[in-house]
Structure 1
Amino acid sequence: MAASSVFRPGLFNHKVAIVTGGGTGIGKAISAELLELGCSVVISSRKADRLEAAAREMRQKIPPSSPASVTALPCNIRSEEEVKALVSSVLKRYGRIDFLVNNGGGQFRSPAEDMSSKGWKAVVDTNLTGTFHCCKEGEPGTDNTGFVGFFLKIASARAAVDNLTKSLAIEWAASGVRINALAPGTIFSKTAMENYKEYGPHLFKMSVPFTPAKRLGVPEEVSSAVCFLLSPAASYISGATLKVDAGQSLYKSMWEIPNHSAWPEAPEGENLDALNELVNPKSKL
């Protein structure tokens, strides 16, 4: 059973959001919760087939009475021209864009000495330059856009995006735009397991003892933080980076936290089911 939003129904009725990387993992959870709250969502990523499959799945869960809709529009955020086309298409369809969630990104496991210039460039072009392309197209002063709401960046240890957030929060404050970043800790998802391939099980299991909650997070716990930052409840928050990591970034080896189960359980859903199977596999005897 999928988790339900903790926010009131209809919170984002008639709003429009773009969620890059919105068809898998954290982006999919964000898109699903925005839809549940009445927001129309345009999900975007490079892989059209996976994107459309996610959109079909989400459409089935939208109640007939809801004003929300979901649209899949493929886009490579590394390309400035493709981002321009994405924004133009959304404005043509909906006439407005209230929220931009820059969730699209990627990384891979590699020691610095083994990383090629091509690999370095791919990560920077996606995580930093791609975020900049999306923000630039939503710049409040340009005539060819209709952004009137908030931008939010998902950033995991991406210092450049963190500073871009601070800079744009000041630069665009007079236009009524709030810009915040969100830095997830170790978040388990089926997509992440696939991306890390054979390293996935080891990496996730290894992270549990170093998390103060003594469990991993799931995408639904990130999406609720995103919805908070996009909501009127965060009307006086801008230029901030919210860490969603159960305090993991504060945890030092000099202070050992004993094993416990005191934290609330993660929200139900397919990601939690897969995580439980990884950490506590059921006997097949």
Structure 2
Amino acid sequence: MSTARTVVVTGAAGGIGSEIVNRFLAHGDTVVASDISPEALDTWRARWDSGASGGQHPSLHTVPADISSEQSVAALAQVVQQSLGTVDVLINNAGHFPQTAFEEMSADEWRQVIDVNLTGTFLMIRAFVPLMKASGHGRIVNIGSGSVFSGTPMQSHYVASKGGVMGLTHVLARELGGYGITVNLITPGLTVTPAAAESVKLFEAGSPEN
């Protein structure tokens, strides 16, 4: 009996997201890899295809989307429904984590981080839960952050957004469990991805010691 699943991964072009895609493809799952940057997705598509026989990975679909946009998320969900019919696993990995001191933070920057990290997670789950409910099962995994337990200077917007994701996860686990849908949270510590390394570099450059 096949154990292959249909998996949607946001923030798939690099860092933790691309590693998640790698693991699911290695398992034989069908993966919809999404990211806001079409160019980054094309670059990673070429890498993923280079390891497949026949020139293209048959189980991989790359679909650009801005998860902070209701219309963009709806379009992504429509593509998945029309192409694959269902989704078994949703990995909400996409995130935005700039470095800004609280007193220097603009309301626009605050909203941008909340829109991507928290509202984007809400929009993705809301868009894909109907497909999971129709099939009677589903797995939703939200990528949080260990920073919610200790706080990280210069990232009040990011930590607040990830705290919101934690609360959302707890509530939805209770609301959706009766439909055979589990909702879980992973809270990794600092992971040295290229984006994280650049963020740390900018923080160090702007610190009083430098």
- Which bracket does the TM-score occupy, shorter chain normalised? 0.7 to 0.9
Tell me the TM-score normalised to structure 1 length: 0.61
* Partner in structure 2 of residue 239 of structure 1: none
* Structure 1 pair 85–146 and aligned structure 2 pair: CA distance change class (3 A): farther
Contact 1:39 1:68 in 2 (8 A): no
Identify the residue that residue 38 of structure 2 maps to in structure 1: 48
Spell out, residue by residue over 1:5-26, the C-alpha distance to the aligned partner (whole angstroms, 9 max, x if none): xxxxx9x843111100011100
Match of 2:143 in 1: 154
- Within 5 A, what are the aligned runs for 1:197-212? 197-199=201-203
Partner of 2:195: 191
Matched with 1:252 is none
- Name which of 101, 112, 124 aligns with 1:111: 101
1:81 maps to 71
Structure 2 spans left out of the alignment, 5+ residues: 149-161
Could you tell me which residue of structure 2 aligns to residue 165 of structure 1? 169
What's the CA shift string for 1:201-231, capped at 9, x where partnerless? 999xxxxxxxxxxxxxxxxxxxxxxxxxxxx
Query: Size of the alignment, in residue pairs?
Result: 190
Contact 2:4 2:28 in 1 (8 A): yes
TM-score by length of 2: 0.81
Q: Which structure has the larger Rg over C-alpha atoms?
A: 1
**Equivalent in the alignment of 1:182:** 186
Q: Deviations 1:212-265 (Å, cap 9, x if unpaired)?
A: xxxxxxxxxxxxxxxxxxxxxxxxxxxxxxxxxxxxxxxxxxxxxxxxxxxxxx
**Hey, what's the Cα distance between the residues in 1 that align with 2:63 and 2:106?**
31
Q: Is the 8 A contact 1:20 1:27 kept in 2?
A: yes
Q: Is the 8 A contact 2:132 2:181 kept in 1?
A: no
Q: Which amino acid aligns with 1:25?
A: G
Q: Does 2:14 correspond to 1:24? A: yes
Are the aligned partners of 2:87 and 2:138 in contact in 1 as well (CA < 8 Å)? Answer: yes
**1:160, 1:33 → 2: CA distance?**
27
8 Å CA contact 2:32–2:61 kept in 1: the answer is: yes
Which of residues 120, 124, 136 is equivalent to 1:130?
120
Deviates more, 1:170-179 or 1:12-21: 12-21
On the 8 A contact 1:138/1:147 being kept in 2, the answer is no
In 2: Cα distance, 1:29 partner to 1:200 partner:
27
- Cα deviation for residue 53 of structure 1 reads 1.2
State the superposition RMSD in angstroms. 2.7
**Aligned mates of 1:21, 1:202 — CA distance in 2:** 27
What is the DSSP-based 3-state SS (H/G/I as helix, E as strand, rest coil) of the residue aligned with 1:23? coil
Q: 1:63 to 1:146 in 2, by over 3 A?
A: farther
Indicate if the aligned counterparts of 2:32 and 2:63 stay in contact, CA closer than 8 A.
Answer: yes
- TM-aligned CA deviation for residue 120 of structure 1: 0.2
Q: Which runs of 5+ in 1 are unaligned?
A: 1-9, 204-285
* Structure 2 residue 51 is the aligned partner of structure 1 residue 61: yes
**Residue identity in the other structure for 2:143:** I
The residue type paired with residue 190 of structure 2 is T
The answer to which structure has the higher helix fraction is 2
Look up the match of 2:92.
102
Query: Deviation of residue 63 (structure 1)?
Result: 5.5
Could you tell me which residue of structure 2 aligns to residue 271 of structure 1?
none
| CA distance in structure 1 between the aligned counterparts of 2:40 and 2:167, rounded to whole angstroms | 32
